[in-house]
A and B are shown apart, each in its own frame.
Chain A
Amino acid sequence: MRNDFWRTGVVLAAALFILAPVGLIVWQSFLTDAFFSVRAKSTVDTYGFVLSDSGFWSALRNTVILSIGMVVFAVPLGSLLAFLMVRTDMPGRKWIEPAIFLPLFMSPMVLAFGYIVSIGPSGFWSVWWERLFGAVPFWNVYSMPMLVLVVALTHVPHVYIYVSTALRTVPSDLEEAARVAGGSPLTVATKVTLPLVWPSIAVSAVLVAFLGFELFGLPYVLGDQDGRLVLATYLYKFNTLLGRPAYQMMAVVVIFIMLVTLPLVIMQRRMLKSAQRYSTIGGKATRSHLVPLGKWKWVAFAGVLIWLYAVVLLPLSGVALRSVVTTWGPLVAIRDVLTLDNYHKLADLPLIRRSIVNTLILAFVGGFASLCVYALIGLASHRSRSESTKVLDFLVLLPRAMPGIVAGLVVFWIFLFVPVLKPWVASLGAMWVAYTLVWLPFGLRLVSNSFGQVGRELEEAAHVTGAGQARVAKDVILPLAKHGLLAAWLLSFLLYAREYSTGIFLMGQGNEVMGTMLVSLWNGGNIDVASSLAVVNTIVIAGGIALALRLGVRLDA
């Protein structure tokens, strides 16, 4: 038996990292006031209050609809997109790849606002439509079906990252064999490729469903005017509904979100029961071949373009247009309101430069540090059959049940009330801890999925020849799983770069980040500067990613 001491250590540390915030929330949910208040007494009435509120049930209904909509649309589309990009000879793949990530690093609030400017009732695409067809547009950007559509389409990249990472490790010899035997591209995709990457698709489906439960930005902006709430925006309402923030109400809602996650986790375990059969990185070197699409390749290309148009061009054109005008809408002629002032104003704010630098540090360095944490936890539970790692499997999903702002508040409280941590509250470090916690389920799944794809025989061969666990990790698992590791780093980078709500309570002097700046400018009514900053933000990050991909930091390296 190998020494499992370090595994237990890592698993325990990870469990503490997750359970401390969760425990605090559970405790808070049974109090009448903030846990640190002298007025706080214990009670269970809060649960009754929330359950008897019709607003809760309608928010829950909306959330479930959105969540299901995301799984139903985003998972097949994201998987298909991954297949087209990685496995086929579809034209334009080189430049499409960076574009796929664009929706990921636009703050959801800005994204939603972009849709209002482009296809809202006064939006310029709507105005064009009206001039062209002489009729009022058939869509309503504030309606529920539109919200489902927008939310689903903008989460396609999340699925893409998982599935494409898995696809890149699947050797193509099986597909080739199928093709040689006369299978059409469709047959090859559904009969051969799909089963091979099924675990990754299942994982991404569960994670996307999770994201559905904590959606905030898009429904916050698009559902605002009609008061259409989802759980996270319903929860946020308790910040002001009773006058002072009602933490106990928020805690109860978070606990309900956590309870909903239970069946999802069980479902995921079922789907992955036989995941080990799918380990696909073997000892043989194989060169990957592309599936020729024939005449279908242009159909596929057009489909991808339509998707890009919907999730990138529409919102981005809205924001970009807004950044060069003083106002917009059918009542003004664009040439009368054009201005570059919004960009000049950016230069007047010394903060902007600092926030760009901070964002890049947090996203790049912090993203890498988080990746190391995820890799360590991933290695600890890799091929482990102990009960503790099974428990961990469930635990890692819990942090995502907390909307970002709640997670940030809880991490803030922990730093504040745990004496050894107190000096670091409101530092970039505390912010990093919160980010790492919030995105743990995503990073870890990506990493451990990749670890799972490494053939067991390779590890065992190394063990047999006398390598210890550290050696196996360093020389076998980590190098073979580098696709997944790089993808996890990229994902962390993208998500950290736009994260907003998690940092609100941990912000101190000098650690402003772009996401926070954007949303506060936007909330403060300074949409002029918010739009120009959003454009700069997009250009900076898109440039960074294009450069990285060009320089060879490729997912398929």
Chain B
Amino acid sequence: MSFLKHPALRRPLLALIATTIPCLALAETPAGYPAGYAETIAKAEAEGSVVVYANTEHAAVEPILADFQKAFPKIRVDYIEIKAADLFSRISSEAAAGALKADMVWSSAMDLQFQMVEDGIAAEYQSVEKAAVPEWSNWGDKIYGITYEPVVMVYNSKVIPYGEMPDTRASLAKWLQENKERMKGKVATYDPERSGLGYFAVSADAQNSDDLWPLVTAFGAVDTKFYTSTGTMLEKISAGEHAIGYNIIGPYAYLRAERDPNVKVVVPKDYTVVLSRLAIVTQQAQHPNAARVFLDYLLSKRGQTVVGNEAHLFAIRPDVTGKATIAGLTAEYGNVLKPVAIGPDLMDAIQPMPRMNFFRKWADALKAGK
């Protein structure tokens, strides 16, 4: 240990020890975070809780909340689940009354989430994990993508034998027209007029390619049923009442396929739209530090591992491995994945006139098939 006596080595070493000891005392500070972060955590713990308004169902989010509790036992998460459109109503009303309770809003309605940024509800915060997530997944340090969820097709392999199910929009359109009688009433998808998410996904389809429209015509030809909820669609596909589900959100589809071996997932080979559940920390947050700590946790390697591998919501962080992660998906499907860009363009989806035009085109295409 004689080198300790060497003054040139001794000073930096002591300095290192001096800076490490306080970090050891606050064992919660995740490795690699800046020194000042301990203070954020201390403040967050003093705040004691974080109020999250979100639309991800309790059962899916439970492992995330439980693990966060383990990592930060002194910060309680008050998680309030509300459907996307109602969530928007609630937030915008509360914000207008100056009584916003939410410290964080986390929702899969990407367009409405961005509207909140536009309305000045989101606060700017540069996450300490920012460098570890894809650059496109955050906008202006105000809104962060937490998940990477492909929009897929689903079919029941007892009705459509393996190998027969088409895997592009063009081939599906052709196949449906050829099997018109057999598939009558057997296809299910979202009703874009009655489902915000359904519209968002299908309008993203239309932006990617014109192949959507012959498919819509084929939908008309087979008397497709249009739904407002994923749950009902998957349930009926599983029961054999329907054979094909188009534009099903990935996590739900995979979860179902896991429970019911007859349900198979198809990731479209022409292109696959990828959505993300977006989180914002609010301007009016009463627990701003706790909200930041929760956001950083969601983006951290630990948090993302739970998001992907336990909640099955598809982790967006590239260094997390597993089936339900961006890494797993990219390895398998590579360049067909088309994540929806996070930025002001998201709000195009909630402008009344383009929507009305889209609905008209949709109705015309359906009618053409009948």
Contact = CB atoms under 8 A, between A and B. Distances in A.
Interface of A: 34, 36-37, 113, 116-117, 120-122, 220-221, 224-227, 236-237, 239-245, 247, 326-332, 345, 348-349, 351, 405, 409, 412-413, 416-417, 422, 425-426, 504-505, 507-510, 517, 520-530
Contacts of B226: 225, 227
B90 A505 contact: yes
Given A227-B226, A329-B239, A505 B231 contact: no
Contacts of B82: 504-505, 507
Contacts of B352: 242-243
Contact of B195 (A240, A330, A348, A405): A240
A331 B158 contact: yes
20 contacts: A121-B241, A220-B228, A224-B227, A225-B227, A226-B225, A239-B196, A240-B193, A241-B193, A244-B112, A245-B88, A348-B62, A416-B94, A507-B82, A508-B101, A520-B81, A521-B59, A523-B83, A524-B231, A525-B255, A529-B59
Contact of A245 (B81, B85, B111, B256): B85
B343 interface: no
- Chain A interface helix/strand/loop/mixed: loop
Contacts of B83: 504, 520, 523
B204 to A, nearest CB: 14
A237 B241 contact: no
Nearest to A511: B80
B168 interface: no
Contacts of A529: 59
Contacts of A226: 225
B194 interface: yes
A331 B89 contact: no
B80 A525 contact: no
B127 interface: no
A93 B4 CA distance: 93
Interface residues of B, number: 65
B349 interface: yes
Interface string B29-62: 0000000000000000000000100001111101
A422 B58 contact: no
B238 A329 contact: yes
Contacts of A348: 62
Contact of B262 (A113, A242, A332): A332
Interface string B258-295: 01101100000000000000000000000000000000
B93 interface: yes
A528 B350 CA distance: 33
Which of B51, B83, B194 has the most CB atoms of chain A within a 10 A radius of its CB? B194
Given A244-B350, A331-B159, A527 B235 contact: yes
Interface in B50-86: 51, 56-60, 62, 78-83, 85-86
Given A326-B259, A349-B59, A505-B82, 7 more contacts: A327-B259, A332-B158, A413-B93, A509-B79, A523-B83, A524-B57, A525-B229
Given A331-B240, A507-B80, A422 B99 contact: yes
B154 to A, nearest CB: 11
A328 B86 contact: no
Contacts of A327: 238-239, 259-260, 262-263
B252 A525 contact: yes
Contacts of A525: 57, 229-231, 234-235, 252, 255-256
Nearest to A425: B99
A286 B366 CA distance: 69
Nearest to A233: B194
A421 B89 CA distance: 19
The 4 closest A-B pairs by CB, nearest first: A243-B350, A524-B57, A329-B239, A509-B78
Given A243-B111, A425-B99, A520 B259 contact: no
A520 B159 contact: no
B184 interface: no
Nearest to B59: A526
Given A426-B101, A524-B60, A243 B349 contact: yes
Interface of B: 51, 56-60, 62, 78-83, 85-86, 88-90, 92-94, 96-97, 99, 101, 111-112, 115, 156, 158-159, 188, 191, 193-196, 199, 225-232, 234-236, 238-241, 252, 255-256, 259-260, 262-263, 349-352, 355
A323 B73 CA distance: 34
A412 B90 contact: yes
A209 B263 CA distance: 42
B259 A528 contact: yes
Contact of B355 (A120, A242, A523): A242
Contacts of A240: 85, 193-196, 199
Given A243-B349, A509-B80, A520-B57, A34 B199 contact: no
A331 B350 CA distance: 41
Which of A326, A329, A330, A522 has the most CB atoms of chain B within a 10 A radius of its CB? A329
B231 A527 contact: yes
Nearest to A528: B259
A270 B95 CA distance: 48
A236 B255 CA distance: 28
B256 to A, nearest CB: 7
A224 B228 CA distance: 7
B156 A524 contact: no
Given A243-B351, A326-B259, A520-B81, A237 B194 contact: yes
B231 A244 contact: no
A328 B58 CA distance: 24
B256 A504 contact: no
A345 B59 contact: yes
A227 B230 contact: no
Contacts of B111: 243
A111 to B, nearest CB: 14
Nearest to A242: B352
Contact of B88 (A244, A425, A509): A244
Contacts of B158: 331-332
B58 to A, nearest CB: 6
A526 B85 contact: no
A329 B241 contact: yes
Contacts of A528: 259
B239 A122 contact: yes
B51 A509 contact: yes
Nearest to A337: B260
B153 to A, nearest CB: 16
Nearest to A351: B58
Contacts of B85: 239-240, 245
B93 A412 contact: yes
Contacts of A417: 97
A507 B81 CA distance: 9
Contact of B240 (A122, A237, A326, A345): A122
A521 B194 contact: no
